[in-house]
């Protein structure tokens, strides 16, 4: 049983601020232990949260949250923040159905002024809040915490550039947890940071400005630059100064004696304009297994607290991500023009495996999806075969580049969209719900969706071989279905689907990973005496119109099934049927898509049940389409053993 006497007294930041400063080190230790214990039960993001325990404690102690707005970039480091803001009693429900989100979420707490799960949005959002405050004549503080990884995205610099221009009071805390920017921090750095953030220095600085204003213009500029570069020499902050920020740091993010006075100085600063506080932290801090792990235990399943050993169910089939990576490696061995691109997700997309074999043909561009796509377009113009492996939800960030730089120019860029469909514990922010819709409307694109791991092999081979224009392949999160894999995939005929079962009454036309549910539904319908055809479209674009016509003219009802939003595959089937006049003949047609809501975190199984895309839902939809009503989804699920 954890002993947390100080943490037990803290339900909100107001309780935290009632503590004596000398108690904060102990409180931080108790908070760290609580996070480790909670995440060992729930799984989730561990290393990032451990790295900001002292920083979180200091911010809530110094600033008057929630009146002062605190924005966490990405949000996966916000577990200590959640514990200190009234959510400790629910912290062991993290990422579970009906429980706390793994990220910040406005509907969850007044202490979460901005929801985030994609990176590099905090400065833009915070600047918006700061400007709104200024327009209202308010005086509250706005604090954005952004990691050095998120600073690899252009959006962060766009926001900083605008903040420097607007000169609104905004505090940005750069959480440098990889030592990628700062030199080692120590007593001298801490002293200088405290000095230059204090009123005395700023008062002298303002006096110096007034004196300089009496000088000729050329000398004014020279004096200003001399002061900025003098501070930049000691602190490394010249880049931020050039963007209009007053730079403070670097300081040790685990030393409360350093953090508290600097944050207090920044809070009370007479400086009118944006301030950047550079804090150096260590991911996984205070938990030895995390500190020594290569990934600092960034994302973990349930684990043993004493050893850090994660409890992972033994996999009998490879994940779709690994099947894709292995298949791409196979293709790359046969074609030296194939190169792979990831946007800071090498392990998540499987390209870490590709990189081991082809280090010179693998490019991690950082959290910069826009750049990744146009970079790939440039490679394609020179005869290379770039494969952009990007989660479906993250490709949304580069949509203009997909349209303008790839599609319009008909460049053969290949897109491998991992995490297509619903993704489980990461929830709505990471769900690949929209790619079928947002890509299928673009001229020149070929769209494929893998129904199983063997199809993924074939489609990866097709992706590599296709050179007529842009092509995209989507596949789900999780493990395959257990099919025997081939040594190498077979290139498919573009735009041709396949029939798996032949029937006469009803046709189920699947696009993507719901095919297994269609087969289960067909079994149940067959048990009720209905003859069912099951087909796999394989391609949403170009659509196999011959297959669609065959299914429409030889069956009483046609049901399309996809794990994407409205406007995708089913809409294209309906358009094709209308254009061919096949809707005029009494065909009963239904499109099963994701509902028009954002589905919260839960298991993938439960999410698809909520979405109405499980086998029982397909059975119910089919029976209703042909006029047989009665059995509810609950009854059908019970009959099917779901």
Look up residue 631 and give its two tokens: 């059995």
What's the longest Cα–Cα distance across the chain? 95
Consecutive H or E run containing 171: strand 171-176
CA distance 85 to 463: 48
Answer yes or no: 105 catalytic: no
Q: Is 293 helix (H, G, I), strand (E, B) or coil?
A: coil
Consecutive H or E run containing 235: helix 217-235
Q: Exactly one of 241, 369, 562, 609 is catalytic; which is it? A: 369
Q: Exactly one of 87, 105, 141, 283 is catalytic; which is it? A: 283
Q: How far is CA 263 from the centre of its chain?
A: 30
CA distance 483 to 579: 37
Partners of residue 362 on adjacent β-strands: 340
Answer yes or no: 283 catalytic: yes
Helices (H) and strands (E) in the chain, counts: 27, 19
Q: What interhelical angle do 615-625 and 633-640 show, nearest 10?
A: 130
Of residues 326, 333, 393, the one with CA closest to residue 353: 326
Answer yes or no: 397 catalytic: yes
CA distance 436 to 402: 14
Instruction: Determine contact, residues 447/402, Cβ cutoff 8 Å.
Output: no
CA distance 446 to 439: 9
Q: How far is CA 189 from the centre of its chain?
A: 34
Distances, alpha carbon 415 to alpha carbons 196, 472, 475, 477, 532, in Å: 48, 4, 11, 16, 34
Point out the residues that are catalytic: 283, 369, 397
């Amino acid at each position: 049983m954890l002993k947390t006497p100080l943490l037990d007294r803290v339900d909100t930041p107001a309780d935290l601020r009632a503590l004596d400063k000398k108690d904060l080190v102990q409180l931080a230790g108790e908070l760290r232990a609580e996070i480790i214990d909670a995440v060992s039960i729930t799984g989730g993001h561990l290393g990032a949260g451990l790295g900001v325990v002292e920083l979180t404690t200091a911010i809530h102690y110094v600033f008057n949250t929630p009146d002062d707005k605190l924005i966490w970039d990405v949000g996966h480091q916000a577990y200590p923040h959640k514990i200190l803001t009234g959510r400790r009693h629910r912290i062991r429900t993290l990422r579970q159905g009906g429980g706390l989100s793994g990220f910040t979420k406005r509907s969850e707490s007044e202490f979460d002024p901005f929801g985030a799960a994609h990176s590099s949005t905090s400065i833009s959002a915070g600047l918006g809040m700061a400007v709104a405050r200024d327009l209202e004549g308010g005086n509250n503080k706005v604090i954005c915490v952004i990691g050095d990884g998120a600073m690899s995205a252009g959006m962060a610099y766009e926001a900083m550039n605008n903040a420097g221009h607007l000169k609104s009071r905004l505090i940005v805390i750069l959480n440098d947890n990889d030592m990628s920017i700062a030199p080692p921090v120590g007593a001298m750095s801490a002293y200088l940071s405290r000095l230059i953030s204090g009123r005395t220095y700023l008062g002298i600085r303002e006096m110096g400005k007034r004196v300089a204003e009496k000088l000729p213009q050329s000398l004014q500029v020279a004096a200003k630059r001399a002061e900025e570069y003098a501070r930049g020499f000691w602190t490394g902050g010249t880049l931020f100064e050039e963007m209009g920020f007053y730079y403070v740091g670097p300081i040790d993010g685990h030393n409360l004696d350093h953090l508290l006075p600097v944050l207090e100085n920044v809070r009370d600063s007479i400086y009118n304009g944006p301030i950047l506080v550079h804090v150096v932290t260590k991911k996984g801090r205070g938990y030895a297994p995390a500190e020594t792990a290569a990934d600092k235990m960034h994302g973990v399943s349930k684990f043993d607290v004493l050893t850090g050993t994660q409890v992972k169910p033994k996999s009998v089939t490879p994940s779709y991500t690994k099947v894709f990576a292995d298949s791409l490696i196979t293709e790359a061995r046969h074609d030296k023009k194939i190169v792979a691109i990831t946007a800071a997700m090498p392990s998540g997309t499987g390209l870490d495996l590709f990189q081991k074999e082809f280090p010179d043909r693998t490019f991690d561009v950082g959290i910069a999806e826009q750049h990744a796509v146009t970079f790939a377009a440039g490679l394609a113009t020179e005869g290379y075969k770039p494969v952009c492996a990007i989660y479906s939800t993250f490709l949304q960030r580069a949509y203009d580049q997909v349209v303008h730089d790839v599609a319009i120019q008909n460049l053969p860029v290949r897109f491998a969209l991992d995490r297509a469909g619903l993704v489980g514990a990461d929830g709505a922010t990471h769900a690949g719900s929209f790619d079928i819709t947002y890509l299928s409307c673009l001229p020149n694109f070929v769209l494929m969706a893998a129904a199983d791991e063997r199809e993924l092999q074939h489609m990866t081979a097709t992706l590599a071989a296709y050179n007529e224009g842009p092509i995209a392949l989507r596949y789900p999160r999780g493990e395959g279905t257990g099919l025997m894999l081939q040594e190498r995939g077979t290139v498919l005929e573009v735009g041709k689907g396949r029939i798996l079962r032949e029937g006469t009454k009803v046709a189920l036309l699947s696009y993507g990973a719901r095919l297994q549910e269609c087969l289960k539904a067909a079994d149940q319908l067959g048990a009720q005496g209905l003859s069912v055809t099951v087909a796999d479209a394989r391609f949403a674009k170009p659509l196999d119109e011959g297959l669609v016509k065959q299914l429409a003219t030889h069956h009483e009802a046609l049901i399309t099934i996809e794990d994407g939003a409205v406007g995708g595959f089913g809409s294209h089937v309906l358009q094709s049927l209308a254009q061919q006049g096949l809707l005029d003949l009494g065909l009963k047609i239904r499109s099963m898509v994701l509902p028009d809501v954002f589905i919260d975190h839960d298991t993938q199984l439960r999410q698809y049940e909520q979405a109405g895309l499980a086998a029982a839902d397909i059975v119910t939809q089919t029976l209703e389409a042909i006029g047989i009503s009665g059995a509810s989804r609950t009854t059908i699920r019970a009959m099917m053993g779901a």
